[in-house]
């Protein structure tokens, strides 16, 4: 039987899966939240899950030499792919997937960041994936190269050219944050307001306006991605039996 649970990997004690988590729960999935860098150093067998979703965080995917949690997550991403379990990596999670596949992650050469809503451009073969939205929220200072064997899906119009890639049939690495909610925008601006003066950062009012303009389309985009990953939803009779 296919699992009804999605493994959620976050990187800070207070982190949440945001709208990605809400949309998965709306499809009937139960979320198993783990935080390897804080409280769960070992992640469970991925074969027990419908998918693994790895979110962002303030650390770097290059911190594998000093953070056991990041080192473990890179190894775990390889295992998830080897086991054929769908994987979605968001920001740091996408960078971890890139590292696991032999790609590189690095800051911008002139220390630019990407913060706020930006437009991404799908490559020709990936245009159907971006039918519902081409604008997404960003909050990062590092970017990934497309790793060997992966397929570039979307490029950026700003300082970070690689925005999304696919590895195999059901593994995706994203630079942007489809999980962002308005509450998360306020929280990130409060905790990371010092970054808003860096080159490439938009002011908070632009973040709030972007959420108003693009959130509905990003919800549709995320649901379409779940369909591509094989996360069509838990059948009603199974969801009712689990209650």
Residue positions annotated with a catalytic role = 91, 177, 179
**Cα–Cα separations (whole angstroms), residue 220 to 189, 190, 216:** 25, 28, 7
**The pairing of beta strand 162-167 with beta strand 151-156:** antiparallel
Main-chain dihedrals φ then ψ at residue 191, nearest 5 degrees: -80, -25
Maximum distance among all Cα pairs of the chain, rounded to whole angstroms: 55
**The pairing of beta strand 114-122 with beta strand 105-107:** unpaired
Bridge partners for 174 per DSSP: 90, 164
DSSP string, 145-199: PPPTT-EEEEEESSS--EEEEEETTTEEEESS-TT--HHHHHHHHHHSGGGGGST
Tell me how far apart the alpha carbons of residues 156 and 133 are, in angstroms, rounded to a whole number.
14
Choose among 135, 118, 127, 114: nearest CA to 219.
Answer: 135
**The pairing of beta strand 162-167 with beta strand 171-174:** antiparallel
Tell me how far apart the alpha carbons of residues 199 and 36 are, in angstroms, rounded to a whole number.
31
Choose among 217, 15, 9: nearest CA to 117.
Answer: 217
């Amino acid at each position: 039987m296919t699992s009804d649970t999605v493994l959620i990997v976050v990187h800070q004690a207070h982190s949440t899966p945001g709208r990605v988590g809400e949309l998965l729960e709306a499809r009937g999935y139960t979320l198993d939240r783990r935080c390897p860098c804080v409280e769960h150093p070992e992640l469970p067998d991925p074969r027990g899950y419908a998918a693994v979703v790895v979110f962002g965080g303030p650390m770097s995917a290059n911190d594998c030499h000093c953070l056991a949690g990041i080192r473990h997550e890179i190894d775990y991403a390889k295992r998830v792919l080897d086991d054929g379990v769908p994987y979605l990596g968001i920001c740091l999670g996408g960078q971890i997937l890139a590292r696991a596949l032999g790609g590189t992650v690095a800051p911008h050469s002139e220390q630019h960041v990407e913060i706020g809503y930006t437009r991404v451009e799908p490559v020709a073969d990936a245009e159907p994936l971006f039918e519902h939205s081409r604008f997404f929220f960003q909050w990062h200072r590092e970017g990934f190269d497309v790793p060997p064997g992966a397929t570039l899906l979307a490029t950026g119009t700003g300082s970070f050219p690689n925005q999304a890639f696919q590895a195999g049939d059901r593994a995706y690495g994203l630079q942007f944050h489809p999980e962002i909610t308005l509450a998360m925008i306020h929280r990130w601006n409060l905790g990371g307001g010092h970054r808003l003066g860096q080159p490439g950062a938009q002011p908070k009012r632009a973040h709030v306006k972007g959420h108003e303009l693009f959130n509905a389309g990003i919800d549709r985009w995320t649901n379409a991605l779940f369909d591509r990953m094989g996360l069509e939803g838990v059948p009603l009779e199974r969801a009712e039996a689990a209650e």
